[in-house]
């Protein structure tokens, strides 16, 4: 009797393992599909449009600040001296 119960439990365990592996494979394949990416982008952009209706509108700013000068990289001559 105990042997029969153990066999049933092992068969159920095997079926659960196979079904979880199959579900994981299908989920990963769906997440890598372009359809999933398109759906996710539409949901995110839709929620952003609802939360931020008129942040920028269609108006560009008239005036911007001055540009920031980027630092120059140190020049190294062929002998390894960083000062030229």
Q: Is residue 42 within 8 Å of residue 51, measured between CB atoms? A: no
| Cα–Cα dist 19/72, whole Å | 59
| Cα–Cα dist 63/68, whole Å | 15
Per-residue pLDDT reduced to its tens digit, 11-70? 999 999 999 999 999 999 999 999 998 888 888 877 776 676 666 566 666 777 788 888
| Cα–Cα dist 45/52, whole Å | 10
Place of tokens 């839709």: 46
Q: Is residue 36 within 8 Å of residue 30, measured between CB atoms? A: yes
Per-residue pLDDT reduced to its tens digit, 68-81? 888 887 777 777 66
pTM > 0.85: no
The residue count of the chain comes to 84
């Amino acid at each position: 009797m105990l042997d029969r119960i153990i066999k049933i439990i092992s068969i159920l365990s095997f079926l659960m393992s196979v079904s979880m592996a199959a579900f994981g494979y299908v989920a990963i394949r769906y997440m890598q599909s372009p359809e999933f990416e398109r759906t996710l982008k539409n949901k995110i952009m839709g929620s952003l449009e609802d939360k931020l209706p008129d942040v920028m509108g269609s108006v560009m700013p008239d005036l911007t600040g001055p540009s920031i000068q980027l630092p120059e990289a140190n020049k190294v001559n062929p002998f390894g001296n960083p000062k030229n």
